[in-house]
Chain A
């Protein structure tokens, strides 16, 4: 292959350029994989929060108690099809503060959504909770199940008490993965234990919840329902799927901006180094280009040859960058899997884009020196030493 022979003529310089492109494409692959994963999480989250209104007590967002009777009030609001009162507490009585989302316990009344929940929870083992369940039974999200190596039939400890695992869930990539579902009554007692004694004293376990999910009727004006709920329950704070998307969508935008930034930097750095390499190579070959022009080599041929060379530099860099990026992504995911944090998702589209991008980048960068080479005057190029 004549072209590879030309490239191997300047081994060191070509290698350095390829290394530069490799690093750029490596970064592009790794960051894009991270973005894929985060966008995946966000879209799953958006799906999870869609079509429901989460009502909490607005005094201290999500932690202060509401009355179970508030659920009846909300159920009576025009446009509400079903309500699901819940207790949400941390898995640990005093959770460690960390970067990741803490594990949660949800006390639920099975079937309270009356079929309005659109987010399907799929079972890995066992069964879901039923209304007959009472006491210390739990359905575990996928991450928790892995963490405790539990399947249906196992027993695990939660807050010093033994729970029977009746089911485990498939991964959803969002909140349910780190949630244990237990009967509402069991959770109400845990919740009361978590509250400051002074507050707890005035409450009865059977009457408290801290979250009420309202499912709007089909076709109901969500905004109107939200304001009606806020009007009927004192201190009610609401969050809708749209609000979730707004909040999290901003984060996604930042991540996508980072990806574009990385792509732009690799474009500039890689592109400049290809231009530099090819310009040096053209200068070195001035005489040779002069010969080719003198004996009748058309300009187009000379441009094509040099652009192809630059494209191959880009292609090799792209393939190496993709290879290294894939190694990092796979290794990091393997390491993270035990801890439940899968950070990257390298899709075929990302891989193809990275390689295509660097090849086209190489060719575009090669055009400038190739053009100036083709413009050389054959006579003065032949005199060039």
Chain B
């Protein structure tokens, strides 16, 4: 069954009084549960907009055309209120961004705990859930560090811990490797793939990077606000992606990252 099902998704952004940008011109898309999908395309192709709609950050336009439809996990989310969409984002989705986007005044653990807190976990349990999530990404020894005190790769792993702490159904990444070198990119992708495999979490990535696309099960290619291609990645290639070695906890001597209970 499809986890995400979008039909006739349109979005026009009004940039000023005269100029509008038609970011999405009617897209039908379906993502199955447990898939790892890359959305690719040049700048302005509408890939980020599609992710914002699928991630319930924006609502699709309802005027000028056939009524859009969006179902997430069997629920019609097309016309939910902001409060309801916020709640679904908090409990069932995890977000990873290009520029990490951690709260600078909070420690790594507090950043992760914040997401647990928003999902309704009591304060104390949120803290321990955050510590667990940091262990999954190999950063248990960085829990009390502020983002400024962490490297880019470490910050992104904190962000992944934050995205995973509530055991979400869907993990969304907006250019999650865009600011990382190739070694860190491999590390981050391996983490996402591991959780996809071990927990069956659906992963949706927006990316420019063809190599990132190759590690996914499926690539949706966009141009000018429409989907121009939707292709399966050859199992051989995808298998290579799945074969990426597990990351090593920073600063630790090759200790294997503990595997969370599925």
- How close is B179's CB to chain A, nearest CB, in angstroms? 14
Residue contact B58 to A297, C-beta cutoff 8 Å: no
Contact across chains for B114 and A295 when beta carbons are under 8 A apart: yes
Q: Decide yes or no: A295 and B115 within 8 Å by CB, A9-B105, A287-B101, A379-B58 being known contacts.
A: yes
Alpha-carbon distance between A370 and B104 when the two chains are bound, in angstroms? 19
Partner of B115, one of A293, A296, A379: A296
Q: How would residues 283 to 317 of chain A score, 1 for a CB under 8 Å from any chain B CB and 0 otherwise? A: 00001101111111111010000000000000000
Q: Are B103 and A292 in contact (CB under 8 A)?
A: yes
Contacts of A292 in B (CB 8 A): 103, 114, 118
When distances are taken between beta carbons in the complex, the residues of chain B under 8 Å from A295 are 89-90, 94-95, 114-115, 118, 162-163
A175 part of interface (Cβ distance < 8 Å): no
Q: How far is the CB of A281 from chain B (nearest CB, A)?
A: 12
Closest-CB distance, A301 to chain B (whole angstroms): 7
Q: Do B90 and A288 touch across chains, with their CB atoms under 8 A apart?
A: no
Please report the C-alpha to C-alpha distance between residue A253 and residue B229 in the assembled complex, in whole angstroms: 81
Q: Which residue of A lies closest to B51 (CB)?
A: A379
- Indicate if the CB atoms of B103 and A301 lie closer than 8 Å: no
Residue of B82, B88, B103, B110 contacting most chain A CB atoms (<10 Å): B103
Evaluate whether A379 and B57 lie within 8 angstroms (CB atoms) in the complex, with A2-B106, A299-B86 already known. Answer: yes
Contact residues on A (Cβ < 8 Å of other chain), bracket:
20 to 34
A288/B103 contact (C-beta < 8 A), A295-B162, A296-B119, A378-B57 known: yes
Partner of B89, one of A288, A294, A299, A382: A294
Flag whether B193 is at the interface (Cβ < 8 A).
Answer: no
- Interface set, chain B 4-50, CB cutoff 8 A to A: none
Which residues on A sit within 8 Å (CB–CB) of B145?
none
From A294, A299, A301, contact of B95 by CB (8 A) = A294
Question: Which parts of A260-288 form the interface with B (CB within 8 Å)?
Answer: 287-288
| A301→B106 CA distance, assembly (Å) | 16
Within 8 Å by CB of B91, from A296, A377, A378, lies A296
Given A296-B89, A297-B118: A291 and B103 within 8 A (CB)?
yes
A270 → B minimal CB distance (Å): 26
CA of A379 to CA of B52, assembled, Å: 8
The answer to whether the Cβ of B232 comes within 8 Å of any Cβ in the partner chain is no
Size band of the B side of the interface? 20 to 34
With contacts A287-B101, A378-B57 known, is A296 near B106, CB below 8 A? no
**Restricting to B49-77, which residues have a CB under 8 Å from any CB of A?**
52, 57-58
Contact A296 B104 (CB under 8 A): no
Residues of B within 8 Å of A9, CB to CB, are 105
- Tell me which residues across on chain A come within 8 A of B106, comparing CB atoms: 2
Known contacts A2-B106, A288-B104; decide if A297 and B86 are in contact (CB<8 Å).
Answer: yes
CA distance A293 to B86 in the complex (A): 7
Q: Determine the chain A residues whose CB is within 8 A of the CB of B101 once the complex forms.
A: 287, 290-291, 294, 382
**A308, chain B: closest CB distance, angstroms:** 15
Interface contact A301-B82, CB-CB below 8 Å? no
Which A1-36 residues sit within 8 Å CB-CB of chain B? Answer: 2, 5-6, 9
Give 1 or 0 for each of B95-129: 1 = CB within 8 Å of chain A CB.
Answer: 10100011111100010001100110000000000
Contact with A along B223-253 (1 / 0, CB 8 A): 0000000000000000000000000000000
Min CB–CB distance A346 → chain B (angstroms): 38
Cβ < 8 Å to B, chain A residues 25-78? none
Cβ of B103: which chain A residues have Cβ within 8 Å of it? 288, 291-292
CA distance A6 to B93 in the complex (A): 27
Q: Are A299 and B114 in contact (CB under 8 A)?
A: no
Most buried by B among A294, A298, A299, A301: A294
- Specify which of B52, B58, B86, B102 is in contact with A296 (CB 8 Å cutoff): B86
Shortest beta-carbon distance, A74 to chain B, in Å? 80
A residues less than 8 Å from B88 (CB atoms)? 296
How close is B26's CB to chain A, nearest CB, in angstroms?
20
Interchain CB contact (< 8 A) of B118 among A5, A288, A296: A296
Query: Once the chains are docked, how many angstroms separate the CA of A288 from the CA of B97?
Result: 13
A290 surroundings in chain B (CB, below 8 A): 101
A14 to chain B, nearest CB (A): 14
Query: Which residue of chain B has its CB nearest to the CB of A300?
Result: B83
Q: Which residue of B lies closest to A6 (CB)?
A: B105
List residues 199-243 of chain A with CB under 8 A from any CB of chain B: none
Distance in angstroms from A379 CB to nearest chain B CB is: 5
Given that A292-B103, A379-B52 are contacting pairs, would A298 and B118 also be in contact in the complex, using a CB cutoff of 8 Å? yes
B83 close to A294 (CB less than 8 A): no
How far apart are the CA atoms of A379 and B86 in the complex, in Å? 13
State whether A301 touches B118 (Cβ < 8 A): yes
Q: Of the candidates A5, A298, A378, which one forms a contact with B83 in the assembled complex, judged by CB atoms under 8 Å apart?
A: A298
Compute how far the CA of A288 lies from the CA of B103 in the bound complex, rounded to whole angstroms: 6
Return chain B residues, CB-CB under 8 Å to A294.
57, 89, 95, 97, 101
In the assembled complex, the Cα of A292 lies from the Cα of B103 at a distance in Å of 8
The closest CB in chain B to the CB of A296 belongs to B90
Q: For residue B114, which residues in chain A have a CB less than 8 angstroms away from its CB?
A: 292, 295, 297
- Report the separation of the CA atoms of residues A378 and B48 in the bound assembly, to the nearest whole angstrom: 13
> In the assembled complex, how far is the CB of residue A78 from the closest CB belonging to chain B, in whole angstroms?
79
* B contact residues vs A (CB 8 Å cutoff): 52, 57-58, 82-83, 86-91, 93-95, 97, 101-106, 110, 114-115, 118-119, 162-163
> Which 3 pairs of residues, A with B, have the shortest CB-CB distance?
A296-B90, A296-B89, A296-B118
17 contacts between A and B (CB under 8 A): A2-B110, A6-B105, A288-B104, A294-B89, A294-B95, A294-B97, A295-B90, A295-B115, A296-B90, A296-B91, A296-B119, A297-B86, A297-B118, A298-B87, A377-B58, A379-B52, A382-B101
